[in-house]
């Protein structure tokens, strides 16, 4: 095979790779648009619960849960092509982790790096699209409950990426409602309840944990796909630059082949004339 044919074969393969990367980029872009809609709804739900909790605890402060031993939930990526997304989480974990805090890892790419960590208490497949989040939470929430029972972890802090900020976000979920805004000062009477205050608060905490984890996972997926788009855009640009270089080399070699063919023809004509 001539050198030009080898270059053309490489160009075809790089073209196929480029099409795959563009498809991946487009899928990530569509996912961010879908996640933006999900996040708008979920943010409102979490805010409603937090507002209700602030008003309730204004009149029932004795029910606020004390802070205890903390477990760490680290949310990474299930797939690759997102740059140093997981590396940043591992760096944040290494700088803040307390030796007695068990770790729950989410995301195949992250958990591969966490497998030998002495504090790893559980690892879970991460969502790849928004529709996967409920399935992940159905596995994760029972594991959080088991940690509370077996290791007496009353607290839960989540490390995750959040779009729009460069540093890793840290969200304290348990004990709940510790980061809320101040209650409504216009309230002068305790809210009317159909349940006993303790039962109401327990149900509220359960709904809050479920809603807040949905929001956090959607936020992490949004940041992951934005990183993926950025990473693929850079890779596609470098691929196109390489394609252009190879294409120029291929054209040069083709011109050399044409020149050689013309010389051969001329030599054959001269030889025939002499004969």
Residues 6+ apart with CB under 8 A from 147: 71, 102, 104, 121, 122, 153
| The pLDDT of residue 258 | 83
Using 50, 70 and 90 to split pLDDT, how confident is the model at 96? low
pLDDT digits (tens, 9 = 90+) for 26-36: 999 999 999 99
Better-scored residue on pLDDT, 154 or 130: 130
Residues 172 and 155 sit within 8 Å (Cβ to Cβ): yes
| The pLDDT of residue 274 | 62
Whole-structure pTM value? 0.86
* Average pLDDT taken over every residue of the chain: 89
Residues 6+ apart with CB under 8 A from 160: 74, 75, 89, 168, 169, 171, 216, 219, 220, 223
Lowest average pLDDT, out of 33-37, 97-101, 125-129, goes to: 97-101
pLDDT digits (tens, 9 = 90+) for 160-189: 999 878 889 999 999 999 876 566 666 667
Better-scored residue on pLDDT, 94 or 208: 208
Question: DSSP letter string over 127-167?
Answer: PSSGGGHHHHHHHHHHHHHHHHHHS---EEEEEE--TT-SS
| The pLDDT of residue 65 | 83
Write down all domains in the chain, each with its CATH number in brackets.
Answer: 24-182+194-229 (3.40.1380.10)
pLDDT digits (tens, 9 = 90+) for 246-267: 888 888 888 888 888 887 777 7
């Amino acid at each position: 095979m001539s050198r030009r044919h080898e270059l053309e074969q490489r160009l075809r393969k790089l073209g196929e790779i480029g099409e795959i990367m563009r498809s991946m980029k487009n899928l990530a872009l569509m996912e961010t648009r879908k996640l933006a809609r999900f996040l708008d709804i979920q943010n409102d739900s979490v805010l409603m619960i937090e507002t209700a909790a602030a008003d309730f605890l204004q009149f029932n402060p004795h029910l606020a849960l004390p802070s205890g031993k903390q477990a760490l939930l680290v949310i990474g990526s299930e797939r690759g092509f997102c740059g140093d997304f997981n590396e940043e989480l591992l760096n944040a974990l290494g700088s803040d982790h307390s030796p007695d805090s068990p770790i729950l890892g989410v995301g195949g790419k992250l958990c591969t790096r966490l497998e030998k960590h002495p504090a790893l208490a559980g690892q879970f497949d991460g969502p790849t699209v928004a529709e996967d989040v409920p399935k992940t939470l159905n596995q994760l929430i029972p594991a959080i409950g088991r940690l509370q029972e077996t290791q007496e972890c009353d607290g839960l802090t989540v490390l995750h990426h959040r779009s729009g900020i460069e540093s890793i976000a840290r969200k304290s979920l348990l004990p709940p409602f510790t980061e809320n805004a101040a209650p409504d000062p216009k309230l002068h009477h305790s809210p009317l309840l159909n349940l006993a205050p303790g039962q109401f608060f327990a149900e509220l905490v359960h709904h809050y944990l479920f809603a807040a984890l949905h929001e956090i996972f959607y936020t992490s997926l949004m940041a992951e796909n934005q990183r993926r788009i950025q990473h693929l855009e850079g890779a596609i640009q470098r691929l196109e630059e390489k394609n252009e270089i190879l294409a120029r080399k291929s054209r040069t070699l083709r011109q050399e082949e044409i020149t050689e063919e013309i010389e051969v023809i001329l030599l054959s004509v001269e030889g025939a004339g002499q004969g």
